[in-house]
Chains A and B, each alone.
Chain A
Amino acid sequence: MAHDKRYTNQEFKIVGTRPPRPDGLDKVTGRAKYGADTFAPGQLDGLILRSPHAHAKIKNINTSRAEKLKGVKAVITSDDLPDLTNGNRGMFDILENCMARGRALYDGHAVAAVAAIDAETARRAVKLIKVDYEILPHVTDVDEAMKPDAPIVQPHVRTSGVEPKPRKASNVSQVSEFGHGDVDAGFKEADVIVEKSYKTEQTHQGYIEPHACLASVGPDGQGELWVTTQGHFFFRNTCAALLGMDVAKLKVTASEIGGGFGGKTHVWMEPVALALSRKANRPVKLVMSREEVFRASGPTCSTSVDVKIGAKKDGTITAALATLRYQNGPFPAVWAMLGAMTSWACYDLKNVKSVGYDVLVNRPKVAAYRAPSAPMAAFAVESTIDQVAARIGMDPVDFRIKNAAREGTRASYGPTYGPIGIGPTLEAVKNHPHMKARLGKNQGRGMACGFWFNFGGQTCVDLNIGIDGTVTLTVGTVDVGGSRASLCLIAAEELGIAYERVRCHVADTASLGHNDTTEGSRGTFSSGMAAIFAARDAIAILRDRAAKTWEIDVEDVAWEAGNAIAKGVAHGNLAPLTLEELAAASPNTGGPIAGHNEVVADGAGVSFASHICDVEVDPETGATKVIRYTVIQDAGKAIHPDYVEGQFQGGAAQGIGWALNEEYVYGEDGRLQNPGFLDYRIPDCSDLPYIDTQILEIPNPNHPYGVRGVGATSIVPPLAAIGNAVSNAAGVRMTHVPMSPPRILKAIKDEQLDIAAD
């Protein structure tokens, strides 16, 4: 049945309320099972040997002593993961990242792995593996990697997106350009031009649960994988392809996930676990340590960005130019291109240009982090916007309102916007009480905007009505933050029944059709849409069953508030049939009652946010305390407001950590110096105030309930909101993230020296 995705502006009975989540009890009692919480009889402990060098040729790996150690059941190298990628470079890069093939590309790169009867034996076995390395020159900084004499990370890479096509190998894998108009002409028209360069250091998604899986593969080519992941169907496809298994013969079950934020949208060591299990013919449990998570999963890019903005005295921006250099780790990817696309998305610009350079370095492979690539670009752009406003003498919010994108604006990445929420969020900022709160000594206020795309993707949902009329909603999108509650609300709303009569669960890959990964803020949006349509399918069947029961025409049956109603005067004597009654009668009216929907929930629409932040900077230590924070974001329709607020607050907290403290520190030797939570400092409870939220609801025209994706955008504004606040508090413009105490102190001292020199 074809369903209409368009917004219907209906009134809701329970969507928008705040009932308790269905998986809550398990999570507060310790019963919920995450990636490392399952055990199989005969299971072995897996452990990976990792390169201690940033860049090295692997001349030889001698595993013989490890293999002979009592209790060791399998030892593997890349020899046990033959290349089945058939020329698909993207798949080959995934394979090579799972285990080095002749060359270690970063500190932490997997080189070999063992499976043994216990963790202690596995540790001893790994120590017995002898690897002969020839250390090669390395490069870890994005700007250094672009220099002509930089060590080449991938000799086969030639820069794409430049003419003429280069012949020499380069660490720049791609150059991409977006924009319209004539920026040179635009700058000539400007009364004021601000040009500045910014740098952001590498950060990690920091999920508290390390990667973990339990793999079990038999000699018959059938296998099972229990894994913490954002996308078990994608993991199945990837692992099956890399291991040469039939997709249908690998069943992947998603455990509860202890945080992902994009970092669990890629396989990191799951193919290794499967290969170990296959060789040992026993289940293998493989869990990363926190150090391994930092060294060998997928942090975000470190970047270097130049921004130039020209504006007239009346506040109109006449030209905007951004040059973005993002490092992707050792495999070509397009994160700078994505940054270039998002840079100017908040603004209505006549002349705009973004150029992105995607660069290779000897660091771990970069993965998406919430709204990937956008926060760094926003830091540079929004910091510069504030500086232009200051030069003109205009209020920073008013300056943004004057130049904000609206319906009909040509986006800097190309297409024209439909109805969007940036204007409303800025107006909401202006009117928010936070803006009027008084500031004390050494305190400053900053605000910033952010943008993110939202995605739909392939989605599949089953809705089954039990014999007692209670409903099982089976979805394939992993629940990262409470979507099961929202999905139950949606199904209950459609069917007209109580929320408590619906149970939602996430199926394994054998039980449902393909579902795309939970990323790009698509979980509630896509599965919610499919749940609506599956419920409507079920309602059509329920009406038909009522018609059969009453022996009347189905055209005369309506569905209202959980009941089949016989319409028309002729049927006035027929009492309504409840869902429970129809379910109980189902064996005789045609069998089990179910609805099903597959949908590609495309056309999701974009999402805007504005944040306000007050900080206090200690001029003696450079330490910054966040004293007040407000998130204002357009959610389209908040199905369960608690969880929308939670997404706003969580993204803001990650952005605050990124802005103030978090960074990967690399030594001269190219090794990661701080792979642990002590020195990779994420915000704790005492670092943050309560985070205020304001949910705007400007309906998305492409979803029946108007839902927009909400999860990602809230990480985009904080870097610049904090940057602007710190700059106002300390009187210095910060251009290097994180704005840690030593950097702030240095900026304050340099400023004092400049003043003294004048």
Chain B
Amino acid sequence: MLEVNFSGSFRDAVDGAASISIEAATIRELLRKLVERYPRMQSHVEDGVAVSINGEIFRDSWGEAIPAGAEVFVLPRIRGG
């Protein structure tokens, strides 16, 4: 069971929660289950999200494994210049 945290811009899509409990072994599974539970996350996922696992930020590697007990944050997709 993971504790998944949300940055401020996503909280209203998850009914105001700062963090929720969810089971997921990979980023892909996490995002799929999030959208199933909170349909309003769909548009955010489409616009672009990043997932931080223990402080490392992943933007595209949806196959990345999420170790048990990892600190997980769902963040907006950041871009550079």
Contacts and interface: CB of A to CB of B under 8 A. Distances in A.
Contacts of A605: 56
Contact of B57 (A163, A262, A337, A415): A415
Given A338-B78, A600-B61, A174 B9 contact: yes
Interface stretch (A131-139, A218-226, A239-247, A362-370): A362-370
A453 interface: yes
A453 B80 contact: yes
A163 B14 CA distance: 13
A284 interface: no
A337 B79 contact: no
Given A174-B9, A176-B9, A334-B76, A371 B57 contact: no
Interface stretch (A14-22, A422-430, A518-526): A518-526
Nearest to A174: B9
A418 B8 contact: no
Chain A residues touching B, majority SS: loop
A122 to B, nearest CB: 32
Contacts of B73: 414-415
B79 A602 contact: no
B71 interface: yes
A458 interface: yes
B60 A602 contact: yes
Contacts of A522: 80
A704 B78 CA distance: 24
B56 A702 contact: yes
Contacts of A455: 59, 78-80
Contact of A519 (B57, B61, B81): B81
B12 interface: yes
Given A456-B59, A520-B79, A600-B61, A415 B8 contact: no
A179 B6 CA distance: 11
Contact of A372 (B7, B8, B79): B79
Given A337-B76, A414-B52, A603 B9 contact: no
Nearest to B5: A414
A712 B80 CA distance: 8
Contact of A161 (B12, B60, B75): B12
Contact of B81 (A176, A371, A600): A371
Interface string B45-81: 0010000101111111100100000010101101111
A163 B58 CA distance: 29
A602 B57 contact: yes
A416 B59 CA distance: 17
A604 interface: yes
Given A174-B9, A457-B59, A602-B64, A368 B81 contact: yes
Nearest to A419: B55
A600 B80 CA distance: 16
A262 B57 CA distance: 21
Contacts of B56: 418, 602-603, 605, 702
A178 interface: yes
B54 to A, nearest CB: 7
A702 B78 CA distance: 19
Contact of A458 (B47, B60, B64): B60
Given A414-B7, A416-B71, A372 B81 contact: yes
Contacts of A178: 7-9
Interface residues of B, number: 24
Interface centre among A174, A413, A702 (most CB of B within 10 A): A413
Given A178-B8, A414-B7, A368 B79 contact: yes
A643 interface: no
Contact of A368 (B58, B71, B80): B80
B81 A712 contact: yes
A522 B78 CA distance: 13
Contact of B54 (A263, A341, A416, A521): A416
A341 B57 contact: no
A417 interface: yes
Contacts of B64: 602
Nearest to A163: B12
A261 interface: yes
Contacts of B78: 338, 341, 453, 455, 520
A95 to B, nearest CB: 18
Given A163-B12, A178-B8, A413-B7, A453 B81 contact: no
Contacts of B7: 176, 178, 341, 413-414
Nearest to A335: B79
A177 interface: yes
A602 B58 contact: yes
A303 interface: no
Interface in A26-64: none
A60 B59 CA distance: 44
Contacts of B47: 90
Contacts of A452: 80
Nearest to A298: B81
Nearest to B64: A602
11 contacts: A338-B79, A369-B81, A371-B81, A414-B52, A455-B59, A456-B60, A457-B59, A519-B79, A520-B78, A600-B61, A603-B61
Given A265-B81, A416-B55, 17 more contacts: A163-B12, A174-B9, A176-B8, A176-B9, A341-B75, A368-B79, A369-B81, A372-B79, A416-B54, A417-B55, A452-B80, A455-B78, A456-B60, A520-B80, A521-B80, A600-B60, A603-B58
